[in-house]
Structure 1
Amino acid sequence: MVDKIYSFLGLATKAGKLLSGEDACERALKSEKACLIIVSEEASENTKKKFSDSCAYKGVDIRFFGRKELLGRYIGKEMRVVIAILERGFAGHLMEMIDGMYLQNGGE
């Protein structure tokens, strides 16, 4: 399931519906273009809190998923800590996959 999620992120990149990097994702949140924010599980607590708070304020979904090396590799970049999904269909499907993976693993 994890590989499917990473592959789907690559598909979103090719479709032009994904931004990466903290600054770009912050701008997407502020301009209300982001439908979903994905923060690497390896991100600092400060980064996790900053994006959690911003997403809560803007009413944008957030998920904590993946390793920053793999997030970058699958979207054709170097390591990435934060990704913004810009389209509701992609965002919904990613949330289903991420949530389903955690349910399968007993909430790990």
Structure 2
Amino acid sequence: MNSNYLNLLGLVYRARKCSLGEGNIIKDIQKKRAKLVLLANDIGQQTKKKMMDKCQTYDIPLIVLDVDRNTLSQAIGKQQRVAIAILDDGFANKVLSLLE
């Protein structure tokens, strides 16, 4: 597993270039502020479907990560987070390149 993107997610959070929480992420997707949405692999089916549908509608890239909610939460220093939306083009492109 490539943990470089997890380190970068911590930096994204500290730089305040992300949004957390289902409601905030949906709002950022609708306002086209979200540049990339990342989901933990153990996200609930309803939440996953809602996020995938919104991202598809608004043409925002979405990736289901190979990590669970605990690992994703630990990367950003919060508890019980299953989704993160990156709001900065530079960070989003770097995370995408690290995930390829």
- State if a TM-score over 0.5 links the two structures: yes
Query: SS in structure 1 opposite 2:3?
Result: helix
RMSD in angstroms over aligned alpha carbons? 1.2
Q: Structure 1 length normalisation: TM-score?
A: 0.85
5+ residue gaps, structure 2, are none
Taking the aligned partners of 1:17 and 1:71, their CA distance within structure 2 comes to 16
Q: Structure 1 segments of 4 or more deviating over 2 A?
A: none
Cα drift, residue 2 of structure 1: 2.7
CA deviation vs aligned residue, 1:70-99 (integer Å, no higher than 9, x gap) = 11111111011110000111111111212x
Q: Structure 2 length normalisation: TM-score?
A: 0.91
| Greater relative contact order structure (CA < 8 Å, 6+ sep) | 2
Q: Report the identity percentage.
A: 29
Structure number with larger C-alpha Rg: 1
Residue in 2 that maps onto 1:39? 39
Taking the aligned partners of 2:56 and 2:74, their CA distance within structure 1 comes to 28
CA deviation vs aligned residue, 1:36-86 (integer Å, no higher than 9, x gap) = 010111112222111111001001010001211111111111011110000
